[in-house]
Chains A and B, each alone.
Chain A
């Protein structure tokens, strides 16, 4: 990477400040309001003001629906069709851009301000080579000819830290790795060296090691004097590079301050709640969400309970929280994998070993966390454990008996012992069914004919559906909603309820909280923890998020390239990682101070 000058721009800015030289203001926003409907009461952005100076990174953090993305897009005049945008001030580098015509905006986009979105796979045209995507900025704003544009694109890619740009420039986003793609996307935004860069969740879909590289790149960009507005839901990511943080909630900025102030000494309750929900370095058994939030409140909850339950947020030691598995006798092994291997045929006919000699044991009542980056074989392992995919070699045993080696016909009777919770829970529901129907189907599928038909059977099913809803803390009023009308957290609760319908002993969770906001994630994790104790569940918990894994797991297995490279108790693996891959993974995780 081509770094020049001091990396720490904040210190440079401090020097400039001490010398009485303020860096110029790159962006000033005053009382920005953005709405989409007619009623101004539910505007997405309700009077937001901030400014960013050259060489400074301002992070806007908030949960989904807080209005942070709309704010970001309004800076480029791209709030969307039908958006009502008004502001007292909106200026780029001192020049007001309020009420600009569309063509005037177009001349500024890409040159005065660049935008980086999340998920470069979708944010770069999948049909066009990146050299043309990046070259478009040059074509639109300069008079360079084709050859000069190509040369400049290669320079920009090089500056964005893409190794061997000549080799990759002709490829399309789908032919690049996640990190290469995100670098290309950043390069496209930086092609004309705009003084302001707006980055909307630039690292959200990335693996932690790649995320660390992209954050380094953004830090370099800032060190070169570019002002950055970083939009993120992830306080730990923001903590790594932001100079100042603005916390958004329901369309307003509820708190601003330097990064250290906001993260270490948050003033607003909402900020404190968000910080508490981050499961980094939170040992097993500690609560993430305020106690009352675990059972999703529908009516106002009695405030008297809050102080009463608050002490539970204090970390409790692992030993005192595992009553199900007292180490008196040899614990029952709920699920055991012995030498599992699975290969898939690659695009060029080559065999790719997705899972390679994987063995693990999941003692009853405990949680085994499998952590790894994308492509490490986690999900294939989950499918092998569910016996949905046949292994090439090795076997899975369920409660000490044969499982994966049985023919499906013999397995079906015991399928009810294993439940599954997925990341894309919405995609796993039939969108035309209501919550009631989804759960009723799940209950009926396991009850089979045993409950009998007729009204007695129907009543039994209805009672079971209510009990499931109660288990996962959902109100009965949601029964007639469709999954698309539910919030992400509610959907995942329905997904868990469905997995519990068969009264399983083992729950296999594949990235169950990855699509959720951190405070919702906290509630779902707490719910899983509670259910585990109530129902003595054994959990196989798969995630890419090290913080989540550390929080939920008794035992941890780290996967890389289809192999388990390290296993141990959560404390061992996270305090003293033995394998170099685990060490690299842990080092890449952004941490809260």
Chain B
């Protein structure tokens, strides 16, 4: 006699597939926001399952800050080829060149906030009506209130106080010309769930997540990788360490942790013993208590 209930990973998978199919059914021109991080890789993997044996019907949209890990770009290009999907690149460098945004100045300058303009411009130019993201509610307090289908007005802004109620499995993606939606199929997953699932399904991930030797400097409590964009400050010195990254963002702001976890098995073990949240190593979230909410209101991921 079989059991007639799902375990939690199967239930999360089923929910995510349901949402991805709803996006396909309700929107004209949806894309997957692809950063090369594990969450967007997971969403892409789930999309493959959702539409099998048909191909993934969404293009991947990568907002390229120009401050990438070379590994991420290689991974992205290989995946696009393997899946036979279309890749759209929105370039922050282009936005800077044609004067849409100005490079941040000062010590902790990053291109993180600049992505918002590039993303919204790309959405407008390409007439994208739904951008599927790998955002999870456990990541950050502003994300805890995000809906599966999240409405953006014609300026791309999120109004957390005026969200559409979302009941049962009834998703309302109706919108006017110029507005768009963000869809978050893995809203209910935690970092642990993502890793357990990646391990179970043996999903390919960039080598950056796996412990490796790298040149780094110690800054704001984490190991920042050495790259052509890094300016050494007084007292900082380059060291070689065995590290891995818990999240992947721009190479300029993503801090690694010292780790010996060089297999998926070991990563799952390491993550379950972690005592800090994964975004704790991201300097973009440390700027103020409401840093994420403020960026999200403007149209951030």
The answer to whether A and B belong to the same complex is no
B contact set with A: CB distance below 8 Å: none
- A residues near B (Cβ < 8 Å) are none
